[in-house]
């Protein structure tokens, strides 16, 4: 009966992965201490946690917000193209390509260069483009937060769409009595996280299923 909890936890993975990518552990978030680099670039203000977690309420609002951030990135010198899988890509043709995954994380691919300084720094396992990559990350922070939130919303909708089929399989399980199956459904309902929109939607689906399909067992009541 923990399957539902696992499904709902997994849907939060994109947002968690994006948050981890912004935690400062990535080697591209700041130049190595031993690398010769210009002073740190001016960065856009980092949204407060509550602001960063706020996602547009509808698909139309999400699309409009992402389009706005794409225009802002292009204005800052980073024209991005959609990759077809929910991500985006930027290529400066000289130094590196930046690939934004659907979960908001960024992977950099350096272009080969005959520049002597670049060759020496690469040979010493230093990043000659750390300053430019930090600028890109700062300029696309809001966009990547929206992309990650959008991916999480899509995953949540898929999980909620699959939930009725899972409940049906629980209800049709011949190994349990009707009383046991109904009690199990109530327990699944109780495990929903009412602090999230997805958890509240999941509880509504489960409670609706119980009301229309199951007979509540004696003395079994949902826990608020």
Structure tokens at 99: 């690939």
Mind listing the pLDDT tens digit for each residue in 44-73? 443 433 334 444 457 788 889 999 999 999
Q: Which of 70, 130, 142 is nearest to 104 (CA)?
A: 142
Structure tokens at 104: 């908001």
Structure tokens at 172: 């049709």
The percent of residues above 90 in pLDDT, for the chain, comes to 45
- Work out the burial of residue 209: count CB atoms within 10 Å of its CB; fewer than 13 is exposed, 13-18 middle, 19 or more buried: buried
Residue 31: the pLDDT is 39
Residue 42: the pLDDT is 40
Beta strands of 33-189 (E only): which ranges? 81-82, 88-91, 96-100, 106-110
Q: Which of 163, 149, 189, 172 is nearest to 62 (CA)?
A: 149
Residue 96: the pLDDT is 94
Between 167 and 34, name the one with better pLDDT.
167
Work out the pLDDT band at 223, boundaries 50, 70, 90: low
Mind listing the pLDDT tens digit for each residue in 95-109? 999 999 999 999 999
- Work out the burial of residue 129: count CB atoms within 10 Å of its CB; fewer than 13 is exposed, 13-18 middle, 19 or more buried: buried
Q: What is the mean pLDDT of residues 132-153?
A: 93
- Per 3-state DSSP, what percentage of the chain is helix, strand, and coil (rounded to 5)? 50, 5, 40
Mind listing the pLDDT tens digit for each residue in 75-100? 999 999 999 899 999 999 889 999 99
Work out the pLDDT band at 22, boundaries 50, 70, 90: low
Task: Report how far residue 86's alpha carbon sits from residue 14's, in angstroms, rounded to the nearest whole number.
Answer: 12
Mind listing the pLDDT tens digit for each residue in 200-215? 999 999 999 999 887 5
Region label for 38, one of left (φ > 0), alpha (ψ between -120 and 50) or beta (otherwise): beta
* pLDDT above 50: residue 130: yes
Long-range CB contact pairs, 5-8, < 8 A, 24+: 5/191, 7/159, 7/162, 7/163, 8/156, 8/159, 8/192, 8/193, 8/196, 8/198, 8/199, 8/202
Residue 125: the pLDDT is 75
Residue 115: the pLDDT is 75
Between 33 and 57, name the one with better pLDDT.
57
Task: Report how far residue 1's alpha carbon sits from residue 5's, in angstroms, rounded to the nearest whole number.
Answer: 8
């Amino acid at each position: 009966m923990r399957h539902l909890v696992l499904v709902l936890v997994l849907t939060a993975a994109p947002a968690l992965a994006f948050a981890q990518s912004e935690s400062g552990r990535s080697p591209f978030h700041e130049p190595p201490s031993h690398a010769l680099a210009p002073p740190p670039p001016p960065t856009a203000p980092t949204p407060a946690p509550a602001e960063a977690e706020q996602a547009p309420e509808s698909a139309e609002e999400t699309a409009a917000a992402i389009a706005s951030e794409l225009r802002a990135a292009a204005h800052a010198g980073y024209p991005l193209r959609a990759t077809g899988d929910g991500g985006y890509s930027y290529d400066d043709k000289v130094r590196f390509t930046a690939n934004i995954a659907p979960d908001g994380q960024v992977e950099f691919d350096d272009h080969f260069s005959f520049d002597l300084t670049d060759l020496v720094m690469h040979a010493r396992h230093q990043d000659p483009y750390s300053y430019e990559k930090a600028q890109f990350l700062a300029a696309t922070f809001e966009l990547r937060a929206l992309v990650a939130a959008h991916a999480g919303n899509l995953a949540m909708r898929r999980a909620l769409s699959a939930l009725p089929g899972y409940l049906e399989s629980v209800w049709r399980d011949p190994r349990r009595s009707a009383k046991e199956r109904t009690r199990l459904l109530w327990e699944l309902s109780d495990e929903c996280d009412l602090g999230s929109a997805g958890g509240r939607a999941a509880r509504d689906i489960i409670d609706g299923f119980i009301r229309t399909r199951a007979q509540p067992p004696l003395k079994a009541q949902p826990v608020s």
